[in-house]
Amino acid sequence: MIEPITRTHGLVNDEPLPPAWLRRAQTEPDDDSTSLRGIHRIGRHQRFRHALVKTIDEAREVVMVASFLLADEDLAAALLRAVDRGVRVYALTSTEAKLAQLPREDSEFDARMIAEHKALLDRLAGRVLLRSAGHFHAKFLVADPKTHPKGFVSTANFNRALLDSVELGVELNRKASQALAAWFSWVFWTEAERELVEKGRLAAVKRPPATPRLPTDLATIVPTTKSHHLLGDAALRLIEGAERQLVVASYSLGADHPSVDALIARARAGVEVTVLTRPRPAVLAAVLRLAEAGVTVLAHDKLHAKAIHSDAGALIMTANLETHGLDAGFETGVLLSGRPTARGTQASALKAILDAWIATFPWRFAPAVRPEEHLGEVWLADKGARDTRVEVVETIDVKLRSIIAKDALDLDAAPSPKNFRRPRDSAKIPRRVLYSWKVEPPRLPAKAVPEERTETREEAGKDGKTKQVKVKIPYNPPVYRVGKIRYVLLREPRDVEPARKLAAKLRATVVVK
């Protein structure tokens, strides 16, 4: 008879999001279908991994392998095959104590990886001469440096990262391989702390019988050791030398590190600076600073590569842009040749890879984006990979409780809700919130009692005379009351007008049953 009406109210959400990574593309594994100028990527073809295994399999005398973590099954099998051929295998890895301190915020260093690393060391014990130190972080491979030198520097640890991480590997020329072997020797003799002497037993390293010679060729391999900061110097030189364009990839970023300061300075000087990293809470402070300075910060869930490309040159390295890497630890970097060949330069090959990453990386950092500027998935920058993601959506519909109008014949006069609260769904951030509610007619209270009107009539008395008599007659439409409040009950559509008039007359409220 009197149907409820629906009313709505819309609110635009212009509250900026907290610092966040905005989804700009799907997360895809990297593409390693081709290798340019000896620069490798990691992907389903496993070209880089196969190149490493092949190098070990072709070694005749010596293999030197360095990796923060060492747990790749194919590589391990190749090393043991080399040992069986009479090849001497030397290895440098991090210490168990250092591994125990690693952050667990992402899959890079999960417990299973560390367990695989330890299991592999047990297999190598007694066959491979392995030394470790807490500051060893470099990843590289050198074979036969004296006779048939061949080498690779890898940003990937020699473990599952060779299968599914976003990394870079660079094949070295003869001189660079020999220089890298010399750095391996230097660190092996002067900086290693423990030596694997048997399964499960690492003994303290004693003084070497002589001091190894430092490499004289510093043109290509630039390391960080306890007494050398060539890598940090080279990285800063490339950043500070950028005039037009600068691209940096780094898994980790030290917010207060001079290299980050230099990136900011170049961005403020008008250089187009792009930083590629991995979305982790640990990089938040640094990327906030970078973004504020106008740096474009992009990220990939699996990025672990470390590289710099600028107008001043190009570098692939094992160090992140932070103190432990550029100022301390054992790290290596390869300054890429800018010498042009028919097929371009190594530097240009790196640039091509970085450009491809810039085009496809799935996340863009935004320090305070408003919902109207982004629609879709958001990774709050203080959350880890295992935390729930957030999505910016166009509209969220919020249904509010119904409102009872004061009069059944005047639903439009019902007031709107006083407070429109934001919905509690933390997984979705709306651009607009649409609130809706029903306005319903009031109902006759259950306690209401009927009320009748009094009418005076003339009746013939016993004596035949006419007399005045008061009689009770029901209202039509019926009237009820609760205390002093009167209600006119609307029973049929045709009663609308009589009810309106009667209510006006009696100062009553029109209600329905």
Partner 1 sequence: MINLHRTVTVTSFDVEATVAVGRERPELLAVARLAKDLDRPIDGADVSTQLLGRLPEQVGWRVVERCVDLGILERSGWGGPASLSRVGDFALEFGTILIPEEGTWRFYLLVDPLVSSQLVHCERLDPPRANEDRNELRSAPRDSRGRQRPPKSDRVPPPITAALSDSTIARSIANSTSFQLLSLPRNTGGASGPEATLRLELAWPENSAPTLKLRGQWPLPEPPSHARQRKQRESTLINTMLPLPENVASVPYEEVWFVLAAFGGKADLAITREWFKRTGRRLLPSAFDALDDGARTTHRRDLPLPAFDLGPEFGKFESTTLAGVDLVPHTKDDAQRWAEWLQLRLLNDYATPTTLATMNEEILAKFPDYLPRLPSAQALLDAACERPLDPKSRFLLAPADLGLWS
Closest CA to 136 of 224, 205, 63, 214: 224
Going by their DSSP bridges, the two strands 129-132 and 140-143 should be labelled as unpaired
Asked if 136 and 150 touch (Cβ cutoff 8 Å), the reply is no
Among 158, 188, 330, 361, binds partner 1 (CB under 8 A): 188
Q: What three-state secondary structure class fits 298?
A: strand
Main-chain phi, psi angles of 500, to 5 degrees: -60, -45
d(CA 65, CA 56): 10
Toward partner 1, which CB reaches closer, 83 or 368?
83
Task: Select from 208-216, 227-235, 394-402, 442-450 the region that touches partner 1 (CB under 8 A).
Answer: 208-216
Toward partner 1, which CB reaches closer, 221 or 353?
221
Instruction: Establish if 127 lies at the interface with partner 1 (CB under 8 A).
Output: yes
Q: How far apart are the first and last CA of the chain?
A: 10
CB of 208 to partner 1, least distance (A): 6
Contact positions with partner 1 (CB under 8 A) in 5-64:
61-62
> Can you tell me which residue has the tokens 């639903």?
411
Task: Select from 43-51, 83-91, 102-110, 432-440 the region that touches partner 1 (CB under 8 A).
Answer: 83-91
CB of 317 to partner 1, least distance (A): 23
Among 129, 255, 375, 400, binds partner 1 (CB under 8 A): 129
CB of 58 to partner 1, least distance (A): 17
d(CA 276, CA 287): 10
Which are the contacts of 272, defined by CB distance < 8 A and separation ≥ 6? 244, 245, 246, 296
Task: Select from 39-47, 125-133, 282-290, 334-342 the region that touches partner 1 (CB under 8 A).
Answer: 125-133
Toward partner 1, which CB reaches closer, 188 or 480?
188
d(CA 449, CA 485): 11
Among 4, 18, 212, 498, binds partner 1 (CB under 8 A): 212
Closest CA to 237 of 218, 215, 216, 213: 218
CB of 154 to partner 1, least distance (A): 21
Instruction: Establish if 204 lies at the interface with partner 1 (CB under 8 A).
Output: no
Number of residues that bind partner 1 (CB under 8 A): 23
**Cα of 196 vs its chain's centroid, Å:** 38
Among 90, 140, 361, 363, binds partner 1 (CB under 8 A): 90
Task: Select from 126-134, 281-289, 300-308, 429-437 the region that touches partner 1 (CB under 8 A).
Answer: 126-134
Instruction: Establish if 86 lies at the interface with partner 1 (CB under 8 A).
Output: yes
- The beta-strand segments (E) located in 213-311 are 221-225, 228-229, 245-249, 272-277, 296-299, 307-310
Among 101, 204, 213, 463, binds partner 1 (CB under 8 A): 213
Instruction: Establish if 184 lies at the interface with partner 1 (CB under 8 A).
Output: yes
- The beta-strand segments (E) located in 228-340 are 228-229, 245-249, 272-277, 296-299, 307-310, 313-317, 331-335
CB of 57 to partner 1, least distance (A): 17
Toward partner 1, which CB reaches closer, 128 or 380?
128
**207 burial level (CB within 10 Å; 0-12, 13-18, 19+):** exposed
> Can you tell me which residue has the tokens 């190149």?
51
Toward partner 1, which CB reaches closer, 213 or 513?
213
Instruction: Establish if 88 lies at the interface with partner 1 (CB under 8 A).
Output: yes
**Cα of 254 vs its chain's centroid, Å:** 17
CB of 129 to partner 1, least distance (A): 5
Task: Select from 84-92, 226-234, 368-376, 408-416 the region that touches partner 1 (CB under 8 A).
Answer: 84-92
Binding site residues, partner 1, CB under 8 A: 61-62, 83, 86-88, 90, 126-127, 129, 181-182, 184-186, 188-189, 206, 208-210, 212-213
